[in-house]
Structure 1
Amino acid sequence: MKKGWVVGITGASGAAYGVTLVKELLSRSLPVHLVITEAGWRVLHEELDWVVTRRKETLDAEFGGYPASYEYHSVKDIGASIASGSFRTEGMVVIPCSMGTLSGISRGASDNLLERTADVMLKEGRRLILVPRETPLHAIHLENMLTLARMGVRLIPAMPAFYQRPETIEDIISFLVGKVLDNMDLDHELFRRWGEGNDYNREQTEDRKD
């Protein structure tokens, strides 16, 4: 049985990143353990019009019908399976990751299930990927990220690229989610990679032939 991934969604802007990642994992037959903070639910409502008063029905409508299944854990359930190192997973992605959650993880606070599960990833040596979304950044933000980077945490800020010529918001979301999948060692075709169909490189080669 596949061990699956933990995905955390927090109150930072960019809820669509987390939702898209969950769908990409489920479509690859990879089980997902989902944790959403209370602030995360607020942003899901504000940005994606999720009906947060009927959480189970909303989650089933979004994530049902895929080859793999998801399991939702309340952020308050500190005794959930994923809170223990004996429960095996491939790793964890927090997407988007608020600066408050990032701070708690960097301090080992474990004040809720999301922070505790991230702490489990660190102590068990499993993959932990954070997608911070904040601007501008002050010194405390940067110091917390440096602390985590030194521990081997992968930090993938929500910074879009434009060399693939995005035409829609979905294109921008796909690029960021694709970068996360790269760091999960999962194949995808969510964006055109640098050098693929690059007109500039082709033109330079033709110029040299002339």
Structure 2
Amino acid sequence: MSDDPLDSALADRARRLQRSLASPVRNTRMAVVIGRLLGLAVVLCFLTGLYSHLLQEPPDWITFPTRPTELYRWTQGIHVTAGTAIFPLLLAKLWSVYPRLFAWPPVTSWPNALERLSIGALVSATLLEVVIGLINTYQWYPWPFSFRAVHYGLAWVIVGSLLVHVAVKLPEIREHWRRTAEEPEDLSGEEIETPAEHAEEKS
């Protein structure tokens, strides 16, 4: 417990807020399950988008196949489908972990700071990427920048921040990859009370 009254008050308020948001389905296992689907969608979207970009600006050292003739149509169908799926998956992932945003202190170590920075970059870049990608499907460009250049650059930001995030969270991912059930917990690995359990203790 900190000797600073303000710090202690903020820590207490953060614990109460996290307790009020506690739910049996907000746990590390749920975050890993949704993360697997989100990661798959991001990888599919990135690879098919990279293929499209290289077709439009082919390097001299690459020769692309011309058969089957519908290959590009299939890859871009996968690209749009996976990109559209990213949006609800990202929102579900945020829902499953957002109580952790109220942890106090907000940063506890360098790995924790790196994790939070990578999440900030990942979420913001992904939301922007998906939004401008969906608008692009209507061939409407209400912005002053080049869609292709920004879309391509954001893709690398997303992949880079995703790799950092996975590297930092790898121990938790490995632990919960094949689990089927677990006790209610917060996403820092500590068991917390649900609102009903807290009310029972007070009575």
TM-score normalised by the shorter chain: which range applies? under 0.3
Which structure's relative contact order is higher, taking Cα pairs within 8 Å and 6+ residues apart?
A: 2
Between structure 1 and structure 2, the one with the greater Rg is 2
Please identify which structure carries the higher helix content: 2
